[in-house]
């Protein structure tokens, strides 16, 4: 029997604009030594979360259609209401020793980046409402999950044996990108950049601030923008993004410039630790010194409810990872800003000429 996240309910629970809060599905993965009796307690239980806005429904495990020549972590295709959905064995992807499918497993059907994907988990536990401020950025010392964690949350509610344990929020965009074989170019770009082999634009008048907690997403956006002649500055969450903008404001003041002389477009994710994209955008639009900056929400959260929520704050909305749509949107917004600045300059020159004529 499926647990369906009804659309109307989901829209109610969506992101309360500016509240910096969200809801996630708490799910578990359990590791048993090879050959161990699975009726006994697991040797390790991982506690994970995924934003409820990405979840369509949760099902009990069922039969899959096996597919040849696919990634080793894809168990097959699940036919669900005339839709063929690829199913990923998440425990296998994360390196759990005993990742065999079990009759008690759940499948979390997700929709993000315009794709529908199912993830096999051992148990979907509950829905948690959490503030993004309570989400910690990931440490580099995470074991089996490697670079697939975008945030961590210390549990304060639940059974006594779970309190003070860490819930890990996984980077599902990266997981899907790796399984689809989309990360080779990104890894090469990161390596070339680290070794100073990337020719980057230094023109301050073509500068974009990219704010995203996913290293995969940041690199992908930076690669697209760099290839199209933009200079890119990056930040890992809204808090760091505001810190970066404040530093640019200070620089602009010292140089006798406006903020839009140093950065012209902001591209921001929605889901981020400490400060999410909604709160970040709201902070920009409420600050008179920053409000002229156009903001593009670049998010994996597709669907009408998400689009409407985002559009109520940001100037534009683009679903990940549509490079053509993102570049077209950045180009359009950049050109609009440049035209506006040129119009303002012309008006100022005309006013100066009028004053000169009157004086003479």
CATH number assigned to the domain comprising residue 202: 3.40.50.2300
Q: Give the residue with greater pLDDT, 305 vs 273.
A: 273
Q: Give the residue with greater pLDDT, 23 vs 345.
A: 23
Same domain, 233 and 340: yes
Residues 6+ apart with CB under 8 A from 193: none
We report the CATH number of the domain holding residue 34 as: 2.40.50.180
Domain that holds residue 330: 184-347
Which 3 state secondary structure label does DSSP give 237? Answer: coil
- pTM equals 0.79
pLDDT at residue 346, rounded to an integer: 78
List pLDDT tens digits, range 146-184. Answer: 578 888 999 876 665 676 789 999 989 889 888 887 665
Same domain, 132 and 168: yes
Question: Mean pLDDT, the chain, as a whole number?
Answer: 82
Same domain, 155 and 26: yes
List pLDDT tens digits, range 241-260. Answer: 999 999 999 999 999 999 99
Q: State the pLDDT confidence band at 137, using cuts at 50, 70 and 90.
A: confident
Same domain, 141 and 188: no
pLDDT at residue 13, rounded to an integer: 45
Cβ neighbourhood burial of 68 (10 Å; 0-12, 13-18, 19+)? exposed
Are 265 and 294 contacting, i.e. CB atoms less than 8 angstroms apart? yes
Q: State the pLDDT confidence band at 223, using cuts at 50, 70 and 90.
A: confident
Same domain, 41 and 127: yes
> Which of 179, 201, 216 is the last residue before a domain boundary?
179
Same domain, 149 and 58: yes
> Which of 179, 209, 238 is the last residue before a domain boundary?
179
The pLDDT of residue 142 is above 80: no
Taking the CA atoms of 180, 182, 187 and 190 in sequence, report the sign of the dihedral they define: negative
pLDDT at residue 311, rounded to an integer: 56
Tokens of 150: 């975008």
- The β-bridge partners of 115 are 112
pLDDT at residue 119, rounded to an integer: 97
> Which of 154, 179, 204 is the last residue before a domain boundary?
179
Same domain, 99 and 212: no
Residues 6+ apart with CB under 8 A from 219: 186, 189, 190
The pLDDT of residue 356 is above 50: yes
List pLDDT tens digits, range 21-35. Answer: 889 999 999 887 666
Same domain, 8 and 59: yes
The pLDDT of residue 317 is above 70: yes
Please compute the mean of the pLDDT values over residues 52-66 and round it to a whole number.
90
Please compute the mean of the pLDDT values over residues 285-292 and round it to a whole number.
94
| Residue that the structure tokens 């100037």 belong to | 315
Q: State the pLDDT confidence band at 199, using cuts at 50, 70 and 90.
A: low
Provide Rg for the chain, Cα atoms.
23
Same domain, 226 and 326: yes
Same domain, 163 and 194: no
pLDDT at residue 7, rounded to an integer: 46
């Amino acid at each position: 029997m499926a647990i369906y996240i009804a659309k109307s309910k989901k829209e109610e629970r969506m992101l309360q604009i500016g509240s910096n809060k969200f809801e996630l599905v708490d799910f578990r993965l359990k590791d048993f030594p090879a050959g161990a009796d699975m009726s006994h307690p697991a040797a390790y239980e991982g506690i994970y979360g995924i934003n409820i806005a990405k979840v369509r429904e949760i099902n009990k495990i069922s039969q899959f259609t096996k597919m040849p020549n696919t990634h080793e972590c894809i168990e097959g295709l699940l036919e669900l209401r005339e839709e063929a959905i690829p199913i990923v064995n998440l425990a296998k992807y994360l390196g759990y020793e005993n990742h065999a499918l079990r009759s008690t497993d759940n499948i979390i059907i997700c929709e993000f980046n315009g794709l529908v994907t199912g993830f096999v988990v051992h148990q979907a536990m509950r829905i948690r409402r959490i503030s993004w401020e309570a989400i910690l950025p990931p440490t580099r010392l995470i074991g089996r999950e490697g670079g697939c964690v975008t945030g961590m949350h210390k549990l304060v509610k639940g059974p006594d044996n779970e309190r003070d344990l860490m819930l890990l929020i996984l980077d599902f965009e990266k997981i899907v990108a790796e399984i689809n074989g989309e990360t080779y170019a990104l890894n090469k770009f990161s390596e070339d950049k680290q070794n100073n082999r990337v020719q980057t634009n230094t023109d301050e008048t073509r500068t974009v601030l990219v704010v995203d907690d996913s290293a995969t997403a940041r690199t992908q956006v930076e690669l697209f923008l760099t290839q199209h002649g933009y200079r890119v500055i990056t930040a890992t969450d809204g808090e760091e993004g505001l810190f970066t903008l404040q530093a640019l404001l200070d620089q602009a003041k010292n140089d006798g410039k406006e903020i839009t002389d140093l950065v012209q477009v902001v591209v921001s994710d929605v889901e981020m630790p400490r400060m999410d994209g909604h709160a970040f955008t709201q902070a920009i639009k409420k600050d008179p010194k920053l409000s002229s900056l156009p903001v593009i929400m670049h998010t994996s959260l597709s669907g009408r409810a998400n689009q409407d929520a985002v559009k109520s704050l940001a100037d534009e909305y683009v679903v990940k990872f549509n490079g053509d749509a993102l570049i077209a949107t950045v180009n359009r917004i950049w050109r609009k800003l440049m035209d506006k600045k040129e119009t303002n300059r012309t008006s100022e020159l005309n006013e100066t000429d009028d004053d000169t004529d009157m004086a003479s």
